[in-house]
Amino acid sequence: MPDVTTITSGPLIAAEKVNGTSVYNMAGEKLGTVEDIMIDKVSGRAIYAVMSFGGFLGIGDKHHPLPWSTLNYDERKGGYLVNLDKTMLEGAPSYDRDTDFRWTSDYGRKVDKYYNVPSYWL
């Protein structure tokens, strides 16, 4: 019996396979990679993809939560497309990899407002 986390065909994918997936802008430039997924504990819905952006060899990169609704999977690229550019990401809500970050509803609303998407945090 195959391990379900190795299955990547069809509309579903294991979360461990999403981590490390590249994120591209509409011009095809790689912006970063998905580092983690924030999932609603009750519904099981993915709410945010946390993308690493910037830095060199993991030094100085920031984590940028992207509302899940901003990502579109592109099978040809094998990664996610977002309608963003590097300039927009530089001003986006983020946190440093090595900080003791705590997610709050105020922070979530700030992320949703920045990307102009309906807020998860009613």
Please name every residue paired with 87 in a beta bridge, in sequence order, or none if there are none. none
Say which residue the tokens 């709050």 belong to. 104
Phi, psi angle pair for 82, to nearest 5°? -130, 150
Average pLDDT for residues 24-29, to the nearest whole number?
93
pLDDT tier at 55, thresholds 50, 70, 90: low
CATH class of the domain comprising 18-114: mainly beta
SS (H, E, C) the chain: CCCHHHCCCCCCCCHHHHCCCEEEECCCCEEEEEEEEEECCCCCCEEEEEEEECCECCECCEEEEEEHHHCEEECCCCEEEECCCHHHHHCCCCEECCCCCCCCHHHHHHHHHHCCCCCCCC
Say which residue the tokens 């997924």 belong to. 37
Instruction: Quote the pLDDT of residue 4.
Output: 56
**CA–CA gap between residue 104 and residue 26 (Å, rounded):** 30
Number of other CB atoms surrounding residue 118 within 10 Å? 8
16 pLDDT more than 90: no
59 pLDDT more than 60: no
pTM value is 0.85
